[in-house]
């Protein structure tokens, strides 16, 4: 992947964990980070590695690799306060610009070309099921996305929002509990024009 293109990253990465990791690195570089110096990229690297090992068969054969990777993840979680559960589905091109605390629970699904800022919880809740977050979603700091809600493509979750109901595509959700209003991402400056 030469220059990062958020609109094509999902098709480019496909089901490849390695390509998703390369897309993450390209996104960090596009945003002005070198990738390796960012705790968010460290957490994503371990997540991608754990995710690639998660469904490998036979499970017993992969155990000698999975145990040290799990220990490394635990160490990095203590250092970065970013816990991306390998059972969660996270699309390529995720951008985490700051140290946590960030918690992504196993039943969460996050689309491609999203960004998560510090102090976020995604997936907890009193109702069974987890959130489905679309592509190109910006999740600001101090937010919670709880329970089986849907966040549409291009939505913005504002700082301090607690999302417990669906957010339509292209809308901005703010408040506790979050209420949405129709405003596209380009209107609030999340993505630059191509």
pLDDT digits (tens, 9 = 90+) for 62-81: 778 888 888 988 988 898 89
Residue 52 is assigned to a structural domain of this protein: yes
Examine the pLDDT at 187 and tell me if it is beyond 70. no
pLDDT of 55 reads: 79
Specify whether the CB–CB gap between 60 and 54 falls below 8 A. no
Does 4 fall in a domain? no
How many domains does the chain divide into?
1
* pTM for the structure as a whole: 0.84
Q: Which residues are bridge partners to 143 per DSSP? A: 120
> Which has the minimum average pLDDT: 48-57, 81-90, 99-108, 154-163?
48-57
1 in any annotated domain:
no
3 lies in some domain: no
Question: Is the residue at 21 inside a domain?
Answer: yes
d(CA 9, CA 68): 30
Among candidates 162, 157, 175, which has minimal Cα distance to 117? 157
Average pLDDT score over residue span 47-68: 84
Strand 179-182 and strand 171-174: pairing?
Answer: antiparallel
Residue carrying structure tokens 């129709």: 182
Determine the structural domain holding residue 70 and report its residue range: 9-188
**What are the C-alpha distances in Å from 11 to residues 3, 15, 21, 154?**
15, 9, 14, 17
Element (H, E) at 78: helix 59-80
Does residue 194 lie in a domain region? no
- pLDDT surpassing 70 at residue 96: yes
- Tokens representing residue 136 in the block: 């190109």
* Structure confidence at residue 127 as a pLDDT band (50, 70, 90): confident
What pLDDT shows up at residue 183?
56
Residue 76, pLDDT score: 86
Q: Closest Cα partner for 145 from 77, 154, 111, 158?
A: 158
We report the CATH number of the domain holding residue 141 as: 2.160.10.10
Residue 30 lies in a domain: yes
Summarize pLDDT for 21-46 with one digit per residue, the tens. Answer: 999 999 999 998 887 888 999 999 99
């Amino acid at each position: 992947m030469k220059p990062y293109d958020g609109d094509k990253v999902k098709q480019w990465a496909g089901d490849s964990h390695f390509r998703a990791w390369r897309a993450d690195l390209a996104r960090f570089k596009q945003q002005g980070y070198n990738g390796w110096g960012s705790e968010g990229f460290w957490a994503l690297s371990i997540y991608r590695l754990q995710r690639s090992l998660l469904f490998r068969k036979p499970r017993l054969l992969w155990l000698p690799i999975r145990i040290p990777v799990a220990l490394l993840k635990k160490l990095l979680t203590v250092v970065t306060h970013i816990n991306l559960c390998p059972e969660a589905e996270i699309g390529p091109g995720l951008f985490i610009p700051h140290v946590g605390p960030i918690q992504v629970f196993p039943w969460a699904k996050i689309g491609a070309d999203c960004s998560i800022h510090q102090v976020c919880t995604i997936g907890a809740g009193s109702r069974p099921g987890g959130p489905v977050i679309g592509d190109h979603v910006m999740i600001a700091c101090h937010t919670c996305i709880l329970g089986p809600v849907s966040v549409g493509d291009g939505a913005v979750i504002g700082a301090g929002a607690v999302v417990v109901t669906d957010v339509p595509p292209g809308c901005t959700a703010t408040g506790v509990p979050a209420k949405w209003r129709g405003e596209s991402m380009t209107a609030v400056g999340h993505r630059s024009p191509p």
